[in-house]
Every structure is written in C-alpha cells, then in structure tokens.
Structure 1
Amino acid sequence: MKKHLVALVAVVAVLVGSLPVMAAEKTLNLYIWSEYMPDEVLADFTKETGIKVKISTYDSNETLYAKIKMLGGKGYDLIVPSAEYVSRMAGEGLLATIDKNRLPNLANLDENFRNLPYDPDGAHSVPYMWGTTGIAVNTAMVPAGQVTGYADLWNPALAGKLLLPDDMRTTFGMALKVLGYSTNDTDPAHIEQAFLRAKSLYPAVKVFDSDSPKQALLNGEVAVAVLWNGEAYVTNAENDAIVYVYPKEGANRWVDNLCIPKNAANVENAHAFINYLLDPKVAARISQEMGYATPNKAAMALLPAEVRDNQIIYPPADKLKGSEFETDLGQAQRLYDQYWTKLKTGR
C-alpha cells in the first residue's frame, strides 16, 4: 500500500510539475494564402502573447473551401477566404460567429469595410486586405501599350509568353469581362461562352501559378501575367520594366477576410490574433511588405508616401472603372465547377 501511495504521489508531482509547461504551449493553427503573412509579424505576436502560430498554406479559395468542408470546420483556428467564399461558407454553417467584444482594435477598421454585402454586420469575418487582379507586363519583352486589357491576351504574339493563375474565378471572370458580361454572371449560356473563350487561350499559356507568379516574370520565363496586385508591386519594385495594367474591361476587386472555422479548437487565440492584426502599426507593416491595401483606416496615416500613393496598391478611382467585387454564385457555382473541371482536364 505504501509503495502504491509513493507511486501515486510521484505521478501527481509529475502532472502538477507539467502544468505550467502545458499552459505555456498556446497555439494557433493558421490556414492562409501562400506568402501572405510576414514572418516577423508572427514572431512578434508570439513574443507578445506566448501564442505560437502554426501556419499552413493554400493557393486557391477552392482548395481552402474543400479542406474546411471535409474537416467540418475543424483542424484550423483561423482562415483567410475571399469575400464570395465567406458568404458561401457561412451559409453552410462552416464559420463561427465573431465575438466583437474581444476585438477592441476593430474600431480602426474603415467604415467602407463594415457591413459588406457578403457578410452583413461582419458576423463571420473581419477584412484583412483588399486589392485587384490585373495584368503585369514586362515592357522589355512586350512593347508598352500592346496590352491594355484582357482581350489582348489572345494575341498570337503572346503565345508561350503568358502566365495565368490556377484560379477558377479569375479565369472565368477574365473571359466573362472580355465577352462583355459581369464577372459574377450566372446565365448558363454566358458561362458556357466564358468556358469556350478560356479554353481557346489555354494552349498559349506557358505557366499556371497562383502561389508566386512573380517568379516567372522576374526570371523572364513569361512576359505577361494575370495576377494579384501585391505580386505586381513586389515585381515592379525589383524590375521597373514590369508594369501593372488595369484591364480596360474592368479589374476584379477582392477582399480577403479573417474567419474562424465553426469547430476551431483555439477560438480565444484566434480572436487575440485578429485583434493584433487590427493594430494600426501591424496593419501598416503588413501592407507595406505584402503590397496589398489595408482596410485599416488608422493604419493609412502610418504608411510611407511611396506606399500610400503607389497606384498598384491603392488605385485611383479612374483605374477602377468597370471593376467588380466577386460575389457568391449561388446555384450557378455547380455549373462553374463543372466547366472548371472540363477546362483543367482538357475535355
């Protein structure tokens, strides 16, 4: 009996002794786009809060959605879907409700990014960054002015010099705009026309890349790329011959958002990180490094003029003529998915 008692005391001592270590091992599982969060921001957050961020990445909203749906909203504590996927995932019960009482820095958000159509009252999301999708052109390889819109990508002279993202909405949105339709068109006939239009361009594409399209531009592998403006900003900073073109048909505009999956394990840590990202100094730092626009009004005054006035990051109104935000496709999503599969499999 005495031996058992000694053993029990020893076990209890070990468990008690391990409690501070266990408490210190606070984690946050972040699932985010590739190259979309500065390492220094993660390191500083951990230093300030003791919460260690474990990061996983994806290259498309489709990949994110499929993973979260398969896991039933488990496995990750914070995700970063684009606007149309916020409404889709919220509608399917995959997102938790944001507790605004835990986000005092939410007051820094610009009024223009509150109560957005895809998530009224911000019930399931907090805007992280916003931007545009356009065209980067290496003017050392293609004469300046030759590419002014999406329609110019079908020019036979660009065959083998073109990069497209491996992204359904960007690809079909581009084709729809060329045809004179909305990037959110749900007419089956128009969607089929967009599929055929995109299919006719695919043989001319040398590279498909949603992870880091800037690399193919910088190494001269391609001369023209459809990409997000942050990638164009970094590319232009390294090679000013590579310019960003807002398509004459109208650029795609987007908002990426911080969301907590329905069955996240570390909800308190997720709110702590969202609140940290809403700090003006942190938001300004991210915008400056990533090359995307911040929805944080208080952060704007902290940005250096060369960032705040950079038209690749913060476009003037005339550059946004004809632009659209992508919205949820509703029942038409299934048809888009079917045509996307056909496009990628060459059928």
Structure 2
Amino acid sequence: MKKFAMVFIAILAICAGLAYGSNQLTKSTGDSGNKVLNLYNWGDYIDPNLLTKFQKETGYHVNVDTFDSNEAMYTKVQQGGTNYDLTVPSDYMVQKMKADHLLVPLDKSKLTGLNNYGASFMNKSFDPGNKYSIPYFWGTLGIIYNDQDVKTGSLEHWNQLWSKKYRNDIMLIDSARDIMGFSLISMGHSVNTTNSREMIAAKDKLNRLSPNVKAVVADEIKMYMAEGEAPVAVDWSGEATEMMSQNAHLHYVVPTEGSNMWFDNLVIPKTAKHYKAIYAFLNFMSKPENAAQNARYIGYSTPNTAAFKLLPKKVREDKQFYPPQKVIDKLQVYRNLSAQKVQQYNDLYLEFKMNK
C-alpha cells in the first residue's frame, strides 16, 4: 500500500505540475476565452490603473506579456504559437512587419478618436496613411548633460561632442543606428543613408570621438548618469526622463541641426483573435483623458494632442520633451533598410566599438 500510495502521490504531483504549466501558459498567451485582450508590450509601458479602468468599463480582461527589444517581439510573432491581439513595435519595425505580412490592417470604421492625434505624428514614412498603426508614444535621441560639469546651454550641437574638453566624459547608448545616426547628422547626411561612402565616413568620424567616450553601455546608462558617473551622455528622451527624475542636475537637449524622432505604435499582429476587445482598447486609449493619464505615468511624449492639452503646464512647456515645431521639422525617422545595409551599419559600428 505504501508503494501504491507513493505512486499515487507521484501521479497527483505530475497532474498538478501539468495543471500549473497549463495555467502559466494561459497567463502568458491569454488564451482564456473571448472576454480578454492579449497585449504584447514593452515592460512597464502602460499605467496599470488604466488596465483596471478598461476592464471595469468594458468587461475585457487584459493579459500583458512583455518584450525587451523589437527584434525579440518580431521573432515571437513571426514564429506563431501565440494569441497576441496587440503589440507595440517601433517605427522601422512596423515597416518590417508590414513587409513580412505579419500585421492586420486597421478597420478605421471601428475606430474613434483618431482626430485626437496631431498631424505631425500621423502618416509617417514607415506607415503611410496609418493603415496598420496608431502612434502610442514618441521621442527623440539627444544629449544629456550634468550642469555641475557642463554649463547650461553650452552643449547644443552634435559636433560639440568632439571637443577636447569632453575627453573621457561621454557615455553612449549601445545602439548601432543611433550612434551612427548622430555622426551622419553631424556631417549633414540622412540617418537612412545607404551610401557606403557616407556610412564609412560617419564611422571614421566616430573613431575620432573615441578619446572622449568613457563607455558604450546599455540600460545601465540610466544608473550611471543618475549617479553622476559621467558629465555627458547620448541617449533617448524616454531614458533621459528616468535619469532626470533621479538627479535634478541632469538636462536633455535635442541638437538644433536635427536628430532621430522615434515612434512606438499600437498594431494588430497576425496572431490576433479578439477583435471586439482590440477596437475597444484602441478607442479607450485614444480618449484624451486616458492618453494623458498614461503619459503622466510613463513620462514619455504623447502624440495625442487632445491629451497633451490636459497635461500640467510644466510638462506642456518642457521643450526638452516637447520641442518646438522648428526642431521637430528637422527630426528624421528611421526606415527599415535591407538586411545587407543593416549588417553594414552593424559591422561599421562594431569596428568603432573595437577601436574604443
């Protein structure tokens, strides 16, 4: 009997394990009925109180799964086996997913509130006519500096980074397109150039920046700058927001000659199943009061101009994150390049890092 009991207990344990695994799968994929919405998003990229509010208003429960890069998200959607209803790719990835037939076109007859989005944030090159995407947040690439080491207003151009006074003072975000991009802009070229001579010239100019580069780092750049480990950094506006919230001496500037303008967007992947929930959520997030609440929570720039009007005056007038139109007009959006050119960018960038 003891042996039988042990076998019985083992069987129960296996069944329990299978049940747990099944529950975890349901939690991950959200395959738990029709009253759900399965959102595949960047980490901590939506106010959880909005999800609660959405569920109370509509009855749809939102299951959230997260990714840490556009490429990881792309691979998972491409491989299938998931039930994601909405995901949040950046600009160039929208273009790539569209080209690879991984997106479902928007049914605009079911959308309300599209007129809340500013014209400057719609009809971009990566999705003309917004056939597949609705803008979620936007931002820029720029320079962060510490006013204890750098005089306020003295660092406003990319070319100033090459000054000898910043020797071993600059941290760079580890991103091939962004670092190659600001070098290209400093030379008057497009961030989307496929001209090999221009690309090589941009890399050679970065090599001359190497004496000023303290480190090329990823997410830890936020901690280093917040703790005063370097006077200057090149990073995205969203990251700058987090740094500045921890260190009042930090400031963010978009160089006047131009920079990258990035967009994160809501799209419907081919894995979608719950279309009533999808359009209920898109319309919910387009409402000015909800978009404003989300912007306050995330700290990034909202493309919803009706929501923008609801933000505190201090935020609305912050030119670091809501630059004037004359600056916006000079910003460039990344395009999805051929695999060959993406590899060339990556190779040149790697050469620069190895030279460092």
TM-score computed with the length of structure 1 as normaliser = 0.80
Q: Provide, for residues 90-124 of structure 1, a one-character-per-residue CA deviation record: whole Å limited to 9, x for no partner.
A: 11212111222332233422344333332122111
Residue deviations 1:130-182 (CA, integer Å, cap 9, x gap) = 22211110111333344322223334543443222222221111111122211
How far 1:89 sits from its partner (Å)?
1.7
Q: Is the partner of 2:126 in helix, strand or coil?
A: coil
Hey, what's the Cα distance between the residues in 2 that align with 1:307 and 1:114?
22
Q: Residue 274 and residue 205 in structure 1: after superposition, are their counterparts in 2 closer, same or farther (change >3 A)?
A: farther
Letter in structure 1 aligned against 2:111: L
State the secondary structure of the residue aligned to 1:176. helix
| Counterpart Cα distance in 1 of 2:203 and 2:76 | 25
What does the per-residue CA deviation read over 1:14-55, in whole Å, with 9 as the maximum and x for residues that have no partner?
xxxxxxx954872413132x4432233333334443313323
What secondary structure sits across from 1:325 in the alignment? coil
Look up the match of 1:53: 63
Aligned ranges 1:116-135 → 2 under 5 Å:
116-135=124-143
Q: Which runs of 5+ in 2 are unaligned?
A: 1-30
Aligned: 1:181 with 2:189? yes
Q: Which moved more, 1:92-101 or 1:44-53?
A: 44-53
Aligned match of 2:171 in 163, 176, 180?
Answer: 163
Which residue of structure 2 lines up, in the alignment, with residue 93 of structure 1? 101
- CA distance in 2 between counterparts of 1:168 and 1:308 reads 31
Distance 2:140 2:197 in 1: 27
Which sections of structure 1, spanning at least 5 residues, go unmatched?
1-20
Equivalent-residue separation in structure 2 for 1:193 and 1:296 (angstroms)? 38
Counterpart-to-counterpart distance in 2, 1:346 and 1:63: 28
Selected match of 1:269 from 277, 297, 310: 277
Q: Is the 8 A contact 2:135 2:303 kept in 1?
A: yes
RMSD: 3.0
Change (3 A) 1:229 1:22: closer
Task: Tell me whether 1:37 sits opposite 2:46 in the alignment.
Answer: yes
Aligned residues: 323
2:233 aligned with 1:221: no
**Displacement, 1:72?**
5.0
The answer to whether residue 312 in structure 2 is matched with residue 332 in structure 1 is: no
CA distance in 2 between counterparts of 1:332 and 1:52 reads 38
Q: In 2, Cα distance between the equivalents of 1:213 and 1:263?
A: 35
Give the aligned partner of residue 294 of structure 2: 286
Deviation at 1:207, TM superposition (A): 4.7
For the pair 1:230 / 2:220, whether they are aligned, the reply is: no
Decide whether the 8 Å contact of 1:73 with 1:94 is kept in 2.
no
Q: Which range moves more in the overlay, 325-334 or 336-345? A: 336-345
The answer as to whether partners of 1:73 and 1:261 remain within 8 angstroms in 2 is: no
Structure 1 pair 143–164 and aligned structure 2 pair: CA distance change class (3 A): same
Q: Within 2, Cα distance between the matches of 1:106 and 1:142?
A: 42
- Among 297, 300, 315, which residue is 2:323 paired with? 315
Contact residue 226 and residue 244 of structure 2 kept, 8 A? no
Inter-partner Cα distance in structure 2 for 1:82 and 1:28: 19
2:25 match = none
Give the secondary-structure state (helix, strand or coil) at the position aligned to 1:259.
strand
Q: Deviations over 1:232-273 (max 9, x none)?
A: 334435433211122143122122211122223444433332
Q: Judging changes above 3 Å, is the alpha-carbon distance between structure 1 residues 306 and 50 closer, same or farther for their aligned structure 2 residues?
A: same
Deviation at 1:280, TM superposition (A): 0.9
Q: Which amino acid aligns with 2:282?
A: I
CA contact (8 A) 1:280 1:299 kept: yes
The 1-side partners of 2:76 and 2:347 are apart by: 19
SS in 2 for 1:298: helix
> For the structure 1 residues 43 and 214, does the alpha-carbon distance in structure 2 shift closer, same or farther, using more than 3 Å as the test?
farther
Q: 1:172 aligns to what SS in structure 2? A: helix
> Which shows bigger deviation, 48-57 or 130-139?
48-57
The AA in structure 2 aligned to 1:55 is D
Shift of 1:188: 1.2
Going from structure 1 to structure 2, the CA distance change for 1:269 and 1:345 (only over 3 Å counts) comes to farther
User: Does structure 2 retain, via aligned residues, the 8 Å contact 1:74–1:262?
Assistant: no
Whole-Å separation in 1 of the counterparts to 2:187 and 2:250: 27
Moved more, 272-281 or 236-245: 236-245
Q: Structure 2 length as normaliser, TM-score?
A: 0.78
CA distance in 1: counterparts of 2:175 and 2:262, whole angstroms: 13
Q: Is the 8 A contact 2:102 2:270 kept in 1?
A: yes
Counterparts in 2 of 1:79 and 1:341: CA distance versus 1, 3 Å: farther
Change (3 A) 1:24 1:87: closer
Q: CA 1:258–1:164 in structure 2 vs 1: closer, same or farther (change >3 Å)?
A: same
**Contact conserved, 1:130 with 1:256, CA < 8 A, in 2?**
yes
Task: Provide the C-alpha distance between the structure 2 equivalents of 1:126 and 1:143, rounded to a whole number of angstroms.
Answer: 39
